[in-house]
Amino acid sequence: MTTIRYTRYLLSGISKPVKLLLPALLLCMLPVLAGCANTDNPAASGSPAAAPSTSEAGAGTGAKGGAHKLTIMLDWYPNAVHSFLYAAEAEGYFAEEGLEVEIQMPADTNDALKLVAAGKVDLALSYQPQVLMARGEQIPVKSIAALVRHPLNHLMVAADSGITRPGELSGKQAGYSSVPLYEAMLNTMVKSDGGDPSSLKLVDVGYELIPALSTGRVDGIMGGFINHEQLILEQEGHPVRSFNPVDYGVPDYYELVLVASEQGLQDSQGFYQKFVDAIRKGQQYVADHPDEALKLLLAHQEDTAPLDEAIEQRSLEILLPLMDAGSQPFGYQDSASWEKVNQWLSENGLLAAEVDVKNAFINF
């Protein structure tokens, strides 16, 4: 059986000033990397490539037993949403596909997309809107699977705040986590519900969403997930009322997607197909055996980010229906979803340039 090794990315040991400069340096490298891609290649245009032969599958360096090595960077520390990865490893689905998979944690939640674009990792977990915004900046990344099919990020207010709709947040303080996308979502929700977004008093609370709401520093937060922040707030005695952005003018977007670079697709699309095949089996295992899948997750939790079993169990219960593609295979992506999200991003000034949606994703 192959092994998954958890590696804290080397940035964790670099000083903060240098760390802040690295994203800019990476972005400076991207035009060079993009120039290496052959846009006439079938992988770049979205046409499936043939899967590699058995002999090709042993070409990866550092792999064990002839397996091809792939690296994937998470969007965050290991938690319930990543259970399909651990299931694919433990049940031997990666090994069956001739793969050895290494999971890496990002030093910063914004690292994953940049590093896959720069060719530092093969695959990464990111978010549908961020993929489109990156392509608007000419960053050559492409989604190859939709993992969580609906928003987890909801507007949250204290249950006893008296606020029963997004529009009632007008004139009040709203905390968000330093992301322009969240500000646009909040404005859309308030406006859609008849409120005045210009009257909102926005407070950038960074990663302090939970204390900002629980202490009454703000009246509502945008950027908290229903399978994490909401569960923690409720467990700590601070019940919340949450509002789904889809009900208030925001398109129904894919919260979590699997991303590759265009160059990576050109070079390794067959191996990426094998990876997707393995995680489909992994997700089916999670759906069929949620208790066992949770045990696998807890066995591989990160020491610096220990998990609460009760929280993760509830999180998995929330996630499973939101990850179900129905009659389509796990990971399937609908072009209409990409079109709607792209249009909304454009209308809200979040795209640096026009994006050709058909090149932003590929279905395996």
The single-letter DSSP state of residue 308 is P
What is the number of alpha carbons within 13 Å of residue 298 lying toward its C-beta? 14
Query: Over 49-110, what HEC string results?
Result: CCCCCCCHHHCCCCCCCCCEEEEEECCCCCCHHHHHHHHHHHCCHHHHCCEEEEEEECCCCC
Distances (CA, A) of 90 to 97, 101, 170, 279: 13, 12, 49, 12
Which residue type, as a one-letter code, is found at position 204?
A: D
Closest C-alpha to 275, from 70, 53, 8: 70
Q: Tens of pLDDT along 326-338?
A: 999 999 999 999 9
- Residues 240 and 226: their CA atoms lie apart, in Å, by 10
Residue 216's Cβ-count burial label (10 Å; 0-12, 13-18, 19+) is exposed
At residue 84, φ and ψ (nearest 5 deg) are -65, -30
Residue keyed to tokens 């899948």? 293
* Per-position DSSP letters for 231-289, written without gaps between them: HHHHHTT--EEEE-GGGGT-----SEEEEEEHHHHHHHHHHHHHHHHHHHHHHHHHHH-
pLDDT at 63: 57
pLDDT at 61: 40
pTM: 0.83
Tell me the residue length of the chain.
364
Closest C-alpha to 361, from 71, 18, 128: 128
Closest C-alpha to 223, from 174, 284, 261: 174
Whether residue 362 contacts residue 265, with contact meaning beta carbons closer than 8 Å, is answered with yes
- Residues 110 and 130: their CA atoms lie apart, in Å, by 10
Whether residue 125 contacts residue 75, with contact meaning beta carbons closer than 8 Å, is answered with yes
Whether residue 139 contacts residue 37, with contact meaning beta carbons closer than 8 Å, is answered with no
Question: For strand 123-126 and strand 256-261, is the pairing parallel, antiparallel, or unpaired?
Answer: antiparallel
What is the number of alpha carbons within 13 Å of residue 297 lying toward its C-beta? 30
Question: CB under 8 Å to 13, separation ≥6 — which residues?
Answer: none
Closest C-alpha to 183, from 232, 119, 262, 129: 129
Whether residue 189 contacts residue 249, with contact meaning beta carbons closer than 8 Å, is answered with yes
Question: CB under 8 Å to 354, separation ≥6 — which residues?
Answer: 136, 346
Closest C-alpha to 138, from 41, 35, 22, 253: 35
Question: CB under 8 Å to 83, separation ≥6 — which residues?
Answer: 282, 286, 293, 294, 296, 297, 316
Distances (CA, A) of 10 to 1, 7, 45: 27, 8, 34
Whether residue 149 contacts residue 179, with contact meaning beta carbons closer than 8 Å, is answered with no
pLDDT at 38: 38
Digits of tens for pLDDT over the chain (364 positions)? 444 443 433 333 333 333 344 344 344 444 433 443 333 333 333 333 333 333 333 333 445 568 999 999 999 999 999 999 999 999 999 999 999 999 998 888 778 899 999 999 999 999 999 999 999 999 999 999 999 999 999 999 999 999 999 999 999 999 998 889 999 999 999 999 999 999 999 999 998 999 999 999 999 999 999 999 999 999 999 999 999 999 999 999 999 999 999 999 999 999 999 999 999 999 999 999 999 999 999 998 888 889 999 999 999 999 999 999 999 999 999 999 999 999 999 999 999 999 999 999 999 9
- Using the Cα atoms of residue 76, residue 360, residue 147 and residue 231 in order, give the sign of their dihedral: positive
pLDDT at 64: 59
pLDDT at 209: 97
